[in-house]
Amino acid sequence: MLKREIYKVEGTKIVRERRFCPKCGPGVFLAEHEDRFTCGKCRYTEYKKREKTETSEAKTAGKHQSKSSKPKSSN
Ligand SMILES: [Zn+2]
Alpha carbons 24 and 49: distance in angstroms, whole number: 21
Ligand 1 centre to CA of 69 (Å) is: 57
Confidence class of residue 10 from pLDDT cuts 50, 70 and 90? low
Buried residues in 14-27 as b, exposed as e (16+ CB within 10 A) = eeeeeeebeeeeee
Ligand 1 centre to CA of 27 (Å) is: 10
Ligand 1 centre to CA of 37 (Å) is: 10
**Amino acid in the structure at residue 74:** S
Task: Please say whether the dihedral angle defined by the alpha carbons of residues 21, 49, 16 and 31, taken in this order, is positive or negative.
Answer: positive
- H helix runs in the chain, sequence order: none
Domain ranges (residues) in the chain: 15-49
Ligand 1 centre to CA of 71 (Å) is: 62
Could you report the per-residue pLDDT of 19-74, keeping only the tens digit for each?
A: 889 999 988 999 988 999 999 999 999 898 876 655 555 555 555 655 666 677 77
Ligand 1 centre to CA of 38 (Å) is: 8
Residue 18 backbone phi and psi in degrees, to 5: -75, 140
